[in-house]
A = this chain, B = another copy of it.
Amino acid sequence: MKAEPRLHAPDVDEVLQLLVEDPRLRDQLRFVVEIDRLKSIQRRNLLVDGSRRENSAEHSWHQALMAMVLLEHAGAHGSGAAAEGAPNDASDAQGSSLDAGRVLRMLLVHDLVEIDAGDTFLYDTVGYQDKEARETAAAERIFGLLPADQGAELRALWDEFEAKESPEARFAGAVDRIQPLLHNLLTAGSQWRHYGVTADRVRLANRDVARGSGSLGAVTTALIDVAEQRGFLESAPQSDIQGDRPGPMDDAPGAEGVSGDGIGA
C-alpha cells in the first residue's frame, strides 16, 4: 500500500483494541500512552545549560538516577558535606537499609498527577492552597487507567511519597528538592530571580532535605549560602507567585540574566 501524503493519526483506544486482545495488557498500554503527556508539563527550573525549562518526565528520570547514585547518603545522620567532613559510615549503614527499588519506583511515579494538575511551583503560595485537591483528583483518573491491582500499587507509592513518613519517601523527597536547587545555582539563580524568590523562603521550603539525608541537607545549607553571597538569591521579602497549570508553555523565562552556557563561568 502506498503512503498517502497526509494521514490521520489513529485513535488510541480503537487501535489498541485491534492490537491487543487481553484487556489487562490493553489497559496497561493505554496507561503507557497516557503518561507520555508528562513530557509536555513544564517545570519552573531551567536545564543546567540554561537552554530551556525542564519538563516533569525528564525531571523524574534525573531524580531516579540521582537516587541510585546517592542512596548511600540516605538517613538523617549522613555526612559528607563541607560543614562536617566526618566519615560517612552512619549514612552508609542507613542508606543500605532502605528499599532501593521502592525509592526508584516512587520517584518514577511521583509527578504523574501533574498530567492533570500541572506543576505547582514550590514558592507558589496560591497554587499550594488547592494543590492537594487537584492532585488527588488527578491520581484517581491516571492510576485508574491501570488494572485495579496495579493502580492501587502505584497510588500507594504516590501516597507514600507525599506523606514523607517512611525513610524511603524522606530520601526521595530530599532528592526531589536538591535537584532544582542545583539547577538554580548553576544558572545563576535564574528562576529565583525571575520570580523574586528570597533566601529565607528557599531555606524554609527546603528545611526537610536533612530529614531524608543529612549529607544532602548540609549541601543544601551551603548551596543557599553561596547563592545568597553571589547575588543569585535576595534577602528582601516578596509577593506571592501565581501557579502554573497545564496548557501551552507560558512566558518561559529562558536564560535571561545568565551569561555563558551555564557550565563554565
Contact = CB atoms under 8 A, between A and B. Distances in A.
A210 to B, nearest CB: 14
A32, A185, A193, A265: most-surrounded residue (chain B CB, <10 A) = A32
B36 A73 contact: no
Interface stretch (A98-106, A117-125, A126-134, A201-209): A98-106
Contacts of A138: none
Given A28-B70, A60-B61, A9 B263 contact: yes
Interface stretch (A161-169, A230-238, A239-247): A230-238
A189 B54 contact: no
A257 B223 CA distance: 48
A80 to B, nearest CB: 4
A37, A150, A215, A219: most-surrounded residue (chain B CB, <10 A) = A219
Given A80-B24, A232-B7, A257-B5, A226 B104 contact: no
A94 interface: no
A19 B226 contact: yes
Interface in A1-53: 1-12, 15, 18-22, 24-25, 28-29, 31-33, 35-40, 47-51
A146 interface: yes
A148 interface: no
A213 B54 CA distance: 33
Contact of A2 (B81, B146, B234): B234
A3 B61 contact: no
Contact of A12 (B50, B186, B235): B186
A133 to B, nearest CB: 25
B11 A36 contact: no
A6 B54 CA distance: 22
B37 A49 contact: yes
List of 10 A-B pairs having minimum Cβ-Cβ separation, nearest first? A22-B80, A61-B61, A25-B80, A57-B58, A101-B101, A7-B188, A21-B82, A36-B48, A58-B58, A19-B222
Interface of A: 1-12, 15, 18-22, 24-25, 28-29, 31-33, 35-40, 47-51, 54-55, 57-58, 60-62, 64-66, 68-70, 73, 79-85, 88, 100-101, 104-105, 108-109, 146, 150, 154, 179, 182-183, 185-189, 193, 215, 219, 222-223, 226, 228-235, 257-265
17 contacts: A7-B188, A8-B188, A9-B50, A9-B259, A10-B186, A15-B186, A20-B80, A25-B70, A25-B81, A33-B186, A36-B183, A39-B58, A39-B62, A55-B58, A58-B58, A58-B61, A64-B104
